[in-house]
Homo-oligomer: A and B are copies of this chain.
Amino acid sequence: MDIIYFFELLGTFVFAISGMASAAEKKFDIFGGAIIGWATAVGGGTIRDVMIGRLPVGWMRDTNFLFAILAALPVVYFFRKTILRFPRTFLWFDSLGIGLFTVLGLERTLALGLDPAVAVVMGAVSATFGGVLRDLLCNEIPLLFQPKTELYVTVCLLGGLFYLFLGLFGLDYRWKMIITILVVFSLRQLAVSYQWRLPTIK
């Protein structure tokens, strides 16, 4: 199996868990949880595909994404407390996920001939708007916008710019992808460790 495809399924699975965990905190029922997990996992890519006109949207073309989300349901149902005991591990997966989705979102936007500046924005949208959708459906102020959140969109935007920058060196796209994911991952980990935050508008 292609390594990128494997990571994409893994990212979907991890994002679904993050959505279902939020739903559990709100005491939603299990199908409510499944819907929130689904929206969190495929929401960013769906919003991107809808806006750039790549239809039907990505997850519909390959049922493995639905199964990755379904697989998250029993995991959250039976092991939620265990997961919550390892927030650090969860953060690792989430950081890998946003790195991967940033690059994939950017590539899919460029593939349609759109401007690189638009592609950087859509990379960040792909990576982060699943989480925005999760918070909206749970009737919360999106975590993303709250000043207490360490650099998140910023990291995705920087990752997107870095990926474009790597393009100057004629690297294979697979190398560019892996390097960018590592950069996004490291920046996000550093941001959380050192509590890097943006100033609020005031």
Contact = CB atoms under 8 A, between A and B. Distances in A.
Given A137-B142, A137-B145, A138-B141, A115 B28 contact: no
Chain A contact patch, size range: 35 or more
B145 A114 contact: no
Interface of A: 20, 23-24, 26-33, 35-36, 38, 46, 50-53, 55-57, 60-61, 63, 66, 76-77, 80, 112, 114-115, 117-118, 121, 132, 136-142, 144-147, 149, 153-154, 157, 197-202
Given A60-B51, A137-B136, A35 B144 contact: yes
Contacts of A138: 141, 145
A118 B52 contact: no
Contact of A29 (B32, B36, B115, B145): B145
A147 B32 CA distance: 8
